[in-house]
Each structure stands twice: as C-alpha cells, then as structure tokens.
Structure 1
Amino acid sequence: MASPISPADAIALVQKAVELWKKIEDAPDKIAKVGRRMEHLEGYLLDLKELLDNKKQHSLASLRPAQTKRLQTIIEDIEKSAEQVYAIILQWEKSVGPFGLQWKYKPIGDAMFALGSSTDKLDSLSQEIEQEKNDLSDSLQLMGLFFQMNALQLALPKTSTNSSKGRNPSRSPSPPKNDHKIIFVDPYNVGRSKVAEAYMQLLRESTTRTQGNWRIKLSHSAGLMVKARGDCVEILQGIQPPLKQGFLPGGEKPSWNAMASLFSDPVSDNAAKKDIRDQALVQRSRGIRQTIFSDYDMILVFTGRDSENLTRLKKALIEKNGKDAAPKGKGRVLHLGGYLGKKGEVKEIVNAAKDKDGIESKESWNKTNASIKLAVRWFLRRELDWVPPAKAVVVS
C-alpha cells in the first residue's frame, strides 16, 4: 500500500530552485533571501522523508485523517511556491525584461527587476515559504510525538480491562536534551555576538538561581571573518563567488559601548552578574573552527548574509572533510531575526549605527541590544521551552 504522504515531488522542486539559485553570482538581495529560505525548507522536507521512510505502513496508516490532510496540504503549498520561485529566478537569470525583452547588460536587467512586479511577488513568496517551513516543523514535532506515544501503546502488555494486576508500567519517554551547545556568530566578534553571549550568561544565572530549568551546557561566540584562533580562513578565501567582507586579525576587546549598554544597570550588588560583566570585558575576538558544525547544536546569526556565508562554509567543509564535518542533527544555522515580529518574518539585526564621527554610541547600541535581547529570549522559549524567572533579569 502506497504511503498517503509523499514529499518526493516537493523535494525535487525545492532542490531544483535551490540549485538554480546557487548558480547565480551576485543575485539581488530578494532572490538571495528567498533562495536561503528554500534551502532551509529543503532540510525540513528531507527530515520528513526520513521520518516517513523509517516508519512502517501500519504506523503511517494510524495517523489521524486530519494529520494526514494537513501534511498533504502543506506539501501541496510547498510545491506551488517552489514552482513559482523557480520561474522567477529563471526569468532573472535569463535577464528577461518586460514583454520578453532580453537585456544585454545585467545591471539594467537588475534595475528593471527591482522596479517590476517580480520583486513584490518574491516578497510574498518569501513570507509564504517561511510560513510553510514553520507549519512543516510543527507537523514534524507532532508526528514524532504521535509515533512515540503509539509505539508506547503497542508495547504495553495485553491484559484484561477488568484488572490491572501484573501490569507493567509503561516506559517514560526519553527526557529532553539538557546539554545543548550553542554559538553566536557575526563577522568580527566584537559587538553583537559578544552581547548575545554575555546576555545568555545573565539569563542562565537568573534562571538557575531561581531553580528554573536551563538546557544549555555551553554558549560561545566567534567571528566568521576573524583569523585569531580560527582555522577556516583558507577555506573561506577559496569560496566562489568570494565573500564581500574582509578578514581581520582578531584578538580585539569587545566594543566598550556595546557592553556599557548591556550592563548599564548597576550590577555591583550581585556578585554573579559582576563576574559575567568582568569576564565579558576581557574576552578577545576569535575566529571559527572547522569543527563548528559538529561541536555545536545550534549556530545563531544576526543577518541573512551571515546565514548564507555559513551555509556556503558548511558545504565547503563537507566537500573537504566529508559528512562527519556536519553530522545530522548538529550545527543548525538559525537566524535570530526569525524570532522577532510576526511568525514568518525574519528581521535583520544589524550592527549599531555609527554617528557622524564614525562612532557606535551607547545610545545606538541600546537599540541594537534591545533587538538582540528580545530575539534571544524568544529563541529560548521556542526552541528550548525556557520559562523566564518570576523576577526578570536586571538587564532585560
């Protein structure tokens, strides 16, 4: 009996669009954005395929009709979105302008693309794809739980409904993972990533002090374009098309104004928070290691460019070192901006703006840090079921 759910066509269509996107050099930002989201969606579809492949037909048949129907609808929506994305990217790649006119010079085609209806359609498709990814993620979690509970029911000994004598207790589900390792990555590891790392330490302190559940074992930060203590520079330099940002030696102190903004409230009355502040101020910027995708469960970034560059690095590392460079279930790249605003939206968390003297002021960092702190808190809630302490941390 054929499976009632098959993501094969959706996977093929998404991969087709992703492959075309990756062939394009210097694509417009909107195409790059939708391409990255399609690539993330591909990962969730492959997870669904693996889940379905590992289940016997009677297990799939046990899904409730509503569950099956919902998944079928999500897959159909993904197929339609993937076809539309591919058509738009193909149109741009061929430099086709209005009425089928092919532009001789790419810059002119790019400009007309930006002014035409395709850009509005891409914005809409990008939001739809993000929503479809979230819907698929939710369904995957529910399916996993359903199969687990169904397996537990089947494992129970068959006994009389009138007596519970001799009945063995059912096995408890495996406890949730409580030793997550995460790392915040931005280009130079002196601002946003350092703020996020220090803020995570503050949240850990306030959560554990109030007997809350803290599921993170390690939280670090690093800079993608930093040479010090990293070993990915040569690999990153060999990526084509080349990265747009330049490398720095590293070993720099964190931005003073960024830290001053984070620790603006008095912390001298709390020894633990004072220690976190003092440790944050003496840390130095460092680069990333080739083991980043195997060492950490989640890699948190602040912009779409960071996400794209890490995805390209991951591909290069797998080509160089094999699949062990990025084991399944490890090294998930997550955009912190996806935890801000409405569901399906991804907001860029950019570096603090500079004033006319080229200085990132404390006031400017106040705005950036507010976004970072809000995104970190929502990341913890959605991904790790974190419950904020009854009394909020001082710098929230």
Structure 2
Amino acid sequence: MALDPPTMLTITIALAAAAALYLAIEWRSVREPSLLFWSAGFATITVGCTLALLRSSGLLLIGIWFANGLLVTAHWLFLLGVGRFTQTQLSRGWYLVFVVWLALLVVPEEPQWSKLMLLVNSLLVALLALKASALLRPHGKSLSVGAVQLRYVLLMHGLFYVAKAITAVVPGTLIDLAAFRGQIIQISLVEGAMAIMLIALSMTGTERYRREKRIARLAARDPLTALYNRRALEVRAPRLLEDVSATRPGALLLIDIDNFKLVNDLFGHSAGDRLLVDLSEMIRAVLPTGALAARLGGDEFVILLNNAPTERILALGGALREQFRQAAAQLFPTPAPVTLSIGANLFDQPPGSLTALIEQSDSALYASKRGGRDSIRVVDRTAAAGEPLHTP
C-alpha cells in the first residue's frame, strides 16, 4: 500500500482516534483535567483529518480552511492541557489565535493562497506547540520522564512547523493544498502521524507518573491528618538518624492527648477528628526544617528531629502544649482539661531501630502521665546525660 496523502490521512485518523479514546478512558478513572483536554485535542485532529479527505471532492472550504482550523484548535487544546498539568493560568490573549484564523476567510483565492494558508497555519501551530513546551520547563523541580519527553516532542513538533512556515515563503516552492501537492505537504503528513504517536505516549506517561506519585504519597500519609503514617516514618527515619552525633543529638517526641475520650463522648467522634486535625496543624507549625512528624494511630503522634539539645526540645514541647491547651479549652470544654503529655528521648548515637526508640519515648510518655499529665518528660541518653527532666 502506497503512502499517498489519503492513506497517510487515514492512518492519522486512526491514530488520533485511538489516542483520544485511550486518554478519555484514563480521564474517566483519574479525573485529571489535562487528560480531558488532550483527549479533546486528539478527537479534534480526528475530525479535522477526516474533513481534509473532502478536498478530493472539491469541498475546499471544509477540506482546507476548516480542517486546518481544527488542527490549530487541537494544538490550542494541547496547550490548555499542559497549562492545567503545570497549574499555569494562560492569558486571554491566546484566544486571538482563532481571530487570526478567521481572518483568512476574507483572503481572495489567488495563486499565492495555498502558501499564505500554509504559512499562517504553520506559525499558529508552532506558536502553540512551543508555548506548551516552554510551560513544561522544570522551574527548579524535577520532571517525570514522560513530562520531559512531552516537552521535547512538543519542542521538535513546534520547530518542524517553524520550518514549514519558512518553506512557505521560499520562492519557487510548489505548494498546492487542494491537491496535496508539494514535498513539504508530503513530509508534513508523515510528521503528523509520528507526532501523534509520540505526543500521545508522552501525555499518557506524564499523567501515569503523576498518578503513581499521588498513590505513593497517599499510601505514606495518614488519611485524616495528612501527616506521615508509621510505615512512612520508618522509611524516612534512617536518613535523619544518620546525622546524629554528640554535637548534633537527636530526639524523638511521643505525644499523646490527655482525656481525649471525653471529647468523643461529649461532642462526638467528628469533634475528636477535628481536634486531631488541629493538633497535626500545630505540629506542622512548630516542626523544624528537616524534622519528621507522623501520626502513629489514635491520638498518638511522634516528632523526630536532629540537632536537638534539651533546651530546644523543652521549648518546642512547651509551645505545642500551650497552644493545644488553649485551643481545646475554647473548642471543647470538658470536666477534665484536654491537654498534651509528651515523652521525649534525647540521644547522640543512632539507635538500633526506630521501634526501640519509640518504646524508650513511650516509657517517658507514661512517666509524664503518671506525674499529672499536661507535661513533658525528657530522658537524656547522651554522653552528658543528667537526670530525667519533668516540665509541668
């Protein structure tokens, strides 16, 4: 089968339709707006290429002007999809693309009409593709393999259309859009089919990577407070604990809410959930750079940090207790005060395991509770260790 223009258009129609369908199915499962825009773009290419086949029937307005206008529209949808993916707000000036294309309706059909049509179409597509590629620049953040690939595919696609625009103004170049005559038109049909495959694969890989990262992030987070869960803490703790030394002691604070059951009994479990969320936000607010915070379960939280002398631990624990005490008293007044008990374990050598470290802090926590609650008990296991501290 010869790869003549009608055959290439038929192949392009099949590829674009398959890409549109696949991305639409992906969108139904993950509801990412960028997928919907990209799917609509490929669907638009499908319709545009189908209309382009009508040129052989003499329907030039539909087969050339309208079909190429849909090609511009498809790339505009691609740009919108990239904008949503990168969370970039596009200016309204991009709607002028359609104004420029509509202006071609008043251009008389003279010998240079095909060249003018190809020139404007190529420049508009190039502008949209290059802008989409520019939006995918890392901006200081690493991109997924799919996003990087999409960026460079759009860049090469845009540069190809720049070359098409240059060709259109070269004297003596044969360009006949009505009959698909001219070498640049033949090359463009081949490039279009290849670009569809590469762009579709890149877009799919881009969103799949984002979805996998989101799933991994959700798996590492407590669903209520969005703090790390215990499993995620165990994965991330070793790197932090490696930096512990005599000059940079580490500390683990185990935090438990006193009289939390009273809130659930008197105000309902939704009130208890709200209090847990409030506490998690307070923990984030006081969390030093590089420290880790997690919810172990129930009303028990943990903070793990390094470069933490005793004074810093007491200041952090005191600020957290004071803020929580005031918030709980204002939101949920109870017969017994709802406060925090904290058990802290200070160490200057990496522990054998995180579990052992938590168990040691757990002993300090219960010592705090036995001592009257609403306090912090610090157990210093550093080389310069003194007696355990109890701060009411």
The two structures have a TM-score, normalised by structure 2, of: 0.20
- Which structure is larger by alpha-carbon Rg, 1 or 2? 2
Higher RCO (Cα < 8 Å, 6 or more apart): 1
Greater helix share, 1 or 2? 2
